[in-house]
Amino acid sequence: MREERYRIKCPKHILFGDPLYLEQYEHDQKRLRELVVDYSPESSFAAGLILKEEPYQKDPAYTLLSINLYFAPEQHLGTYMRDWMYKGQKIEEKGVGVDTACYILEVDGKCEDVLTGGDGWWGRTQEFSHTSRGKKVLDAVVVTIWMPDEETFGGMKRTAKYLFDDLRPIEKVPEKKDHGKER
């Protein structure tokens, strides 16, 4: 397994999904939101990025490459980048699928078309929230983008450098036991 962690300048807008959906549902925003990631981070959020190479759980003969984007307030970003969460939080998860063996990944106007080689699930978004005074409060957002089998770690890294301004490497913080976090 290989992993590289970065701090990035928080983008203003991210669009990730099948270009067919963007055309087909441009006048049905509710349906479009169900199919693609169209996200503008809150101004109070900082951002981090992890490039991962890991064995596929269902078949270790295959390797998964992913770009993982993390958005949360600065003081909590490290918690989510460790794949932790806080007690009492809820997670809403949405898969990002494609039907045209292609997806676009657009960040602040920079766009990359990715040929997947097949239809199916190519990413997901997770929203972490808690309830305060009867209202949902968004705490963090994590966007995971899976890369095609033909992609290399180096190619994925070049894509990240192109799409995200100011990639600054950060060291992986060792996990400590019993922080009251769960995952």
pTM (2 d.p.): 0.90
Q: What is the pLDDT of residues 9-51, one digit of tens each?
A: 999 999 999 999 999 999 999 999 999 999 999 999 999 999 9
Q: Is the CB of residue 63 less than 8 Å from the CB of residue 56?
A: yes
Average pLDDT for 83-110: 96
Q: What is the pLDDT of residues 109-141, one digit of tens each?
A: 999 999 999 999 999 999 999 999 999 999 999
* Strand ranges (E), 34-134: 37-39, 45-56, 59-73, 85-86, 90-98, 102-107, 110-115, 120-132
Strand order in the sheet with 14-17: 37-39, 14-17, 102-107, 110-115
Give the C-alpha separation, 116 to 153, whole Å: 15
Q: What is the pLDDT of residues 52-91, one digit of tens each?
A: 999 888 888 889 999 999 999 999 999 999 999 999 999 9
